Amino acid sequence: MIIDLRSDTVTQPTAAMRDAMLKAPLGDDVFGDDPTVNALQERIAQITGKEFALFMPSGTQSNLCALMAHCERGDEYIVGQNAHTYRYEGGGAAVLGSIQPQPLAQNTSGEMALADIAAAIKPVDCHFARTRLLALENTWNGHPMSQAYLAQATGLARQHGLATHFDGARLFNAAVAQAQGGTVADSVRRIVDHFDSVSVCFSKGLGAPVGSALCGSKELIAKALRWRKVLGGGLRQSGILAAAALHALDHHVDRLADDHALAQRLAQGLLGIEGLSVRSVQTNIVFVDVADDRGPALLSDLKAHGVLATGLIGLRFVTHMGVDAEGIDHALVCIRRHMGSQSTEASRAQGAFGVY
Looking at the structure, give the CATH architecture of the domain made up of residues 255-352: Alpha-Beta Complex (3.90)
Q: What does the alpha-carbon distance between residue 233 and residue 215 come to, in Å, rounded to a whole number?
A: 16
> Which run of H or E residues covers position 315?
strand 315-318
What's the whole-number mean pLDDT along residues 23-38? Answer: 97
Q: Residue 36: pLDDT above 50?
A: yes
Q: Are 100 and 76 within 8 A, CB to CB?
A: yes
pLDDT digit string (tens) for 296-339?
999 999 999 999 999 977 899 999 999 999 999 999 999 999 99
CATH topology of domain 15-251: Aspartate Aminotransferase; domain 2 (3.40.640)
Give me the pLDDT at residue 355, please: 33
Phi, psi (rounded to 5 degrees) for 141: 50, 35
Give me the pLDDT at residue 181, please: 81
Position 343 confidence tier, pLDDT thresholds 50, 70, 90: low
pLDDT digit string (tens) for 251-278?
999 999 999 999 999 999 999 999 999 9
Residue-level length of the chain: 356
pLDDT digit string (tens) for 215-238?
999 999 999 999 999 999 999 999
Q: What does the alpha-carbon distance between residue 297 and residue 302 come to, in Å, rounded to a whole number?
A: 9
Q: Where in the chain is the domain with CATH 3.40.640.10?
A: 15-251
Q: Residue 352: pLDDT above 70?
A: no
pLDDT digit string (tens) for 148-188?
999 999 999 999 999 999 999 999 999 999 998 889 999 99
Please state, rounded to an integer, the average pLDDT across all residues of the chain. 94
Q: Where in the chain is the domain with CATH 3.90.1150.10?
A: 255-352
Determine how β-strand 163-168 pairs with β-strand 197-201: parallel
Q: Are 353 and 345 within 8 A, CB to CB?
A: no
pLDDT digit string (tens) for 56-110?
999 999 999 999 999 999 999 999 999 999 999 999 999 999 999 999 999 999 9
